[in-house]
Amino acid sequence: MSENSYKTKLSTFNEKIVHYLKLPFRGPLWVISTETFKETLNNKRFYLQAFVFSIPVLFLLFGLGSTPVTTGSAEAIYRAHSELIGVFNSLWLIWTGEIFVFLLASDAISGEVERDTLKTLRTKPIYDYDIVYGKFLGFSLLILVLILPLSTIAYYGRMVQYGASSHILWSSLDELLGAIIIAWLTLSAYIALALVFSALFSKSLHSIMAGIMAIFGTEILIGGTGLAGLDEYLPNYISRNLLKEVLYGSTKLEEYDGTWWISLLVLLFINLSLLVICHQVLKRKELP
């Protein structure tokens, strides 16, 4: 290889690195993400989702008993933790949560194809990853906006009802945030998967159906192969084991082995991998 050719390749490589480093700061990405956020807020499906997400919180705060515990703040934390895990487990991370996230994001790209607006977007000097990452960010932030206050209300509401002392409330903030981040990344992975199906199909109905079938199929497969424990769905595993570990960490911090950091990275990796797949699919998508 000649020196010039080597220098050209190096320069191209450097340009690519700079290009990817600048990626999150590109204007179009944020414009698309803001638009996705606003558009979803105008979507009735979102309010149905918000209602379903808020049911367990309302149930916790007003439906269950709230007799103060006699064994002190630790017991209050334990109960609040268990109940929050119950919320994540029962409605937010599996079944209804999954379905609603899929309904929300599955037609994000296929809908654009149906309405011919993807072609309009492509008339602008933007890259396909602006579309993919912009939409992902918009939906993902929306989910965070939904689960952050609801989780906080559910968790601290129950702690107050159980009579936990104020300094305990403050000290358990990190555990709560850890749990929310894990739940958020899990739901974000559903969004990324929904976007992959949305890019694969050109009709909304097909992408929604295929996405929902795929996610349950994958979970059953994971459960069946024992990756997440026999007869367990992946979200079950996350909520029953991972979240439990994060939340219960407050009582045994010294023994905590930091597994959840690895889990966090794995979830981030899953999200990014799905987005890269989605980008590659969209990049190859022709618009007749």
Partner 1 sequence: MTDSESEEIIVQTKSVTKFFDQTPVVYRLSMDIPRGGIYGLLGPNGAGKSTTIKMLTGCLKPSSGAISVFGYNPWSERAQVMKKVGYLPERTGVLQDKTAIKHLVFLARLGGLSREAAYKRVRIILNQVGIGNMENSIISKMSAGEKQRLGLANALLADPSFLILDEPTANLDPEGRVYVLDLINDFASQGKTILISSHILPEIQRICSRIGIISQGHLLTAGRITDLVKNVYDEDYLIDTSHPNELFEELKDVSYLSNLSKDGVWIYARCDPNYFETFWTLIPTLCSENNWKLRTFKSARDPLERVFMDLVNPQSAYAEARSSERRGN
Site for partner 1, rule CB under 8 A? 27-28, 31-32, 35, 42, 112, 115-127, 130, 284, 286-288
Residue 244: CB partners within 8 Å, gap ≥ 6? 81, 85
Which residue lies nearer to partner 1 by CB, 28 or 163?
28
**62-82: buried (b, 16+ CB within 10 Å) or exposed (e) per residue?**
eeeeeeebeeebeebbbbbbe
Which residue lies nearer to partner 1 by CB, 154 or 199?
199
The Cα–Cα gap between 242 and 264 comes to 10
Which residue lies nearer to partner 1 by CB, 30 or 59?
30
The Cα–Cα gap between 13 and 266 comes to 27
CB of 15 to partner 1, least distance (A): 13
CB of 129 to partner 1, least distance (A): 10
CB of 116 to partner 1, least distance (A): 3
8 A C-beta contact, residue 154 and residue 56? yes
Residue 247: CB partners within 8 Å, gap ≥ 6? 81, 84, 85, 175, 176, 178, 179
Which residue lies nearer to partner 1 by CB, 42 or 225?
42
The Cα–Cα gap between 47 and 68 comes to 34
CB of 130 to partner 1, least distance (A): 8
Which residue lies nearer to partner 1 by CB, 126 or 148?
126
CB of 24 to partner 1, least distance (A): 17
Which residue lies nearer to partner 1 by CB, 43 or 66?
43
8 A C-beta contact, residue 82 and residue 237? no
Helices (H), 225-258: 234-237, 244-248
Q: What is the DSSP letter of 69?
A: P
Residue type, 201: F
Helix (H, G, I), strand (E, B) or coil at 210: helix
**87, two tokens:** 């919320």
Q: Residue 24 to residues 81, 109, 156, 199, 244: CA-CA distances in angstroms?
A: 35, 20, 34, 21, 33
Which residue lies nearer to partner 1 by CB, 35 or 231?
35
CB of 121 to partner 1, least distance (A): 7
CB of 247 to partner 1, least distance (A): 41
CB of 143 to partner 1, least distance (A): 23
- In 138-218 the beta strands, taken as DSSP E runs, fall at none
Which residue lies nearer to partner 1 by CB, 9 or 283?
283
Q: Residue 124 to residues 84, 127, 129, 135: CA-CA distances in angstroms?
A: 45, 9, 13, 16
